[in-house]
Structure formats: structure tokens, C-alpha cells
């Protein structure tokens, strides 16, 4: 085989440069909006005295779930505070919530489009496969080119990595609405929009929520990677501990992420259960 190598790397680099040259104002707007959102949330969460916030989260957990969940939230957050990782954990939470929020904002409508048109689904599905299997580190480089260092490229690469479950499960949830119910809605003269909001979305809601839960978990798993390009927070502690070979510090920071993950997971799962029961 003497065929010349396909210059794929050159093409991608060229594309990156071209996008940067022609769409820079657009990237700057995204940078500004996303950056301010994360910062605003960060400042807001850190404005409360930690103990007040611990109680607030515990109250939410109590309200949504049972006493076990409230107890875990209370103890878990106190441990984080005790380890001196409170402010960093809140920074991480701000990043994760922003990434999840934007993922839902984009993912649910895309999922709806997929459910409505098999053509769209055929195009979107392989793109989602690609997004989920391409090693997340690869997103970091163009993200930095477009959005420079800091939290914004971290959020963007988290979204790319975490958005597929929301799209997939929104699509699935709507497609799983029993055909006879869709037929009944048609038989009574519903417009497509009425059908969507009065029938399909309400019935698909538990499935969509399961997708959102997955999206939150995946963006949480991105925080360490995001810290490699300058995102602050508890992920940065883990990253630093790894580079310095500091097992103890790494474990502490890792534990904070685990606690945050369990709280977010159980809360959203409980919301799904409440939704199903209603």
C-alpha cells in the first residue's frame, strides 16, 4: 500500500483556524454569556454563609425526598465544609448546573425534532455517538482556541460530552407514547403543537428526566478534565493532586465530588419518581 496519508489533521486545523477567523464575534458572545452565568451562580452560591446553604439544601432534600436523603445531604455537605472545600465545591456546582441547564435548553428541543422526524433522527444519532465516544480531552483543544482558557471552554466541552442522553431520552420518551393515545389526540383534531404539549411531553416526562439526570452526572464527571484548561473548583484540586502525586489531597477533593454527585443523582431520581407517581 503506497497511498499517501489522508491529511485529516491538516484539514481539521485549517477548519479550526477558519472558524476562529470568521466566527470569532459569535464565540465571544457565547464566552460572555456562559462565563457570566457561571460566575453569577458561583458568586451567588458563595454569598451565603456555608451553614445556611447546607440547611437550605437539606430542606430541599427533605421536601423532595425522605429524611434519609435529607440526612445524607446534611452530613455530606458538612464534611465538604469541614474539609475546607466549600467554596471550590460551590464553584464546581455552578459549572455543572450551567452545563446541565444549557444541555437541557438545547437537548430537549433537538430530542423533540428527532422524535418528529426520522430523517433528523438518522442524522443526529451518529453525531451523538461520535460526541460520546470521542475522548473528551480532544474537545479541550478547539474549545481553548475558540473560548480561551478558563471556565467557559470547560462548560462547552462538558455540554458536548453530556448532552447526548438528554437528546436520546427525549426522543425515546416521545416515541414511546402509546400510538393509540397519539391517534386519539389526532382523532379529536389536535394541532401538532397541542399534541406535543398536552400529550407527548407530559407522558414522556419521566424518561426525559432520566436523560437530564444522566446529563448532570456526565457533566460532573467532566470537572477534573475541565480543570486542565483552567476551570476552577474542586476538580482543579484533584488535577493538582494528581500532578503533584499527593494522594491525601486528591482523595479529599475526590470525596467532595462523590458527595455532590450522590446528592444531585438522588435528588433528580426522586423528582422522576414523584413525577411518575403523579
* Residues at the contact surface with other proteins, assessed by CB under 8 A: 178, 180-181, 183-191, 194, 198-199, 202-203, 278
Q: How far is the CB of 209 from other proteins (least distance, A)?
A: 14
Sign of CA dihedral 157, 91, 268, 77: positive
Residue 254 vs residues 157, 240, 257: alpha-carbon distances, Å: 20, 12, 5
Question: Whole-angstrom Cα distance, residue 98 to residue 135?
Answer: 22
Q: How far is the CB of 212 from other proteins (least distance, A)?
A: 19
Cβ closest to other proteins, residue 174 vs residue 220: 174
Cβ closest to other proteins, residue 159 vs residue 196: 196
Q: How far is the CB of 203 from other proteins (least distance, A)?
A: 6
Cβ closest to other proteins, residue 2 vs residue 193: 193
Cβ closest to other proteins, residue 10 vs residue 180: 180
Residues in Cβ contact with 237 at an 8 Å cutoff, skipping those fewer than 6 apart: 85, 88, 249, 250, 252, 253
DSSP single-letter state for residue 5: P
Q: Are 99 and 264 in contact (CB under 8 A)?
A: no
DSSP single-letter state for residue 188: T
Pick from 208, 201, 167: which is nearest to 182 by CA?
201
Q: How far is the CB of 52 from other proteins (least distance, A)?
A: 37
Q: How far is the CB of 177 from other proteins (least distance, A)?
A: 10
Q: How far is the CB of 188 from other proteins (least distance, A)?
A: 4
**Cell numbers placing 54:** 447546607
Helix (H, G, I), strand (E, B) or coil at 2: coil
What number of other Cβ atoms are within 10 A of residue 182's Cβ? Answer: 16
Cβ closest to other proteins, residue 84 vs residue 192: 192
Cβ closest to other proteins, residue 159 vs residue 174: 174
Q: How far is the CB of 272 from other proteins (least distance, A)?
A: 15
Task: Supply angle C-alpha 11, 14, 15, rounded to 5.
Answer: 85
Largest CA distance in the chain: 69
Q: Which residue has the cell 464575534?
A: 25
Cβ closest to other proteins, residue 1 vs residue 187: 187
Amino acid at each position: 500500500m503506497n497511498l499517501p496519508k489522508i491529511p485529516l489533521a491538516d484539514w481539521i486545523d485549517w477548519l479550526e483556524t477558519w472558524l476562529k477567523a470568521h466566527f470569532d464575534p459569535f464565540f465571544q458572545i457565547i464566552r460572555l454569556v456562559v462565563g457570566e452565568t457561571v460566575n453569577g451562580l458561583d458568586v451567588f452560591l458563595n454569598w451565603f454563609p456555608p451553614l445556611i446553604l447546607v440547611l437550605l439544601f437539606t430542606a430541599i432534600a427533605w421536601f423532595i425526598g425522605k429524611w434519609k436523603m435529607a440526612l445524607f445531604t446534611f452530613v455530606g455537605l458538612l464534611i465538604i465544609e469541614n474539609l475546607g472545600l466549600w467554596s471550590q465545591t460551590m464553584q464546581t456546582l455552578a459549572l455543572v448546573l450551567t452545563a446541565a441547564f444549557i444541555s437541557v435548553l438545547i437537548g430537549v428541543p433537538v430530542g423533540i425534532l428527532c422524535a418528529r422526524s426520522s430523517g433528523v433522527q438518522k442524522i443526529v444519532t451518529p453525531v451523538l455517538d461520535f460526541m460520546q465516544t470521542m475522548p473528551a480531552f480532544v474537545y479541550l483543544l478547539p474549545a481553548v482556541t475558540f473560548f480561551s482558557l478558563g471556565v467557559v471552554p470547560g462548560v462547552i466541552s462538558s455540554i458536548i460530552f453530556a448532552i447526548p442522553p438528554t437528546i436520546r431520552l427525549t426522543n425515546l420518551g416521545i416515541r414511546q407514547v402509546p400510538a393509540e393515545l397519539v391517534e386519539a389526540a389526532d382523532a379529536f383534531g389536535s394541532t401538532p403543537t397541542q399534541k406535543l404539549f398536552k400529550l407527548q411531553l407530559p407522558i414522556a416526562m419521566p424518561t426525559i428526566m432520566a436523560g437530564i439526570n444522566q446529563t448532570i452526572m456526565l457533566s460532573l464527571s467532566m470537572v477534573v478534565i475541565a480543570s486542565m484548561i483552567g476551570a476552577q473548583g474542586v476538580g482543579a484540586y484533584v488535577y493538582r493532586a494528581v500532578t503533584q502525586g499527593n494522594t491525601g489531597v486528591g482523595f479529599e477533593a475526590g470525596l467532595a465530588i462523590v458527595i455532590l454527585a450522590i446528592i444531585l443523582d438522588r435528588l433528580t431520581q426522586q423528582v422522576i419518581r414523584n413525577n411518575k407517581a403523579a
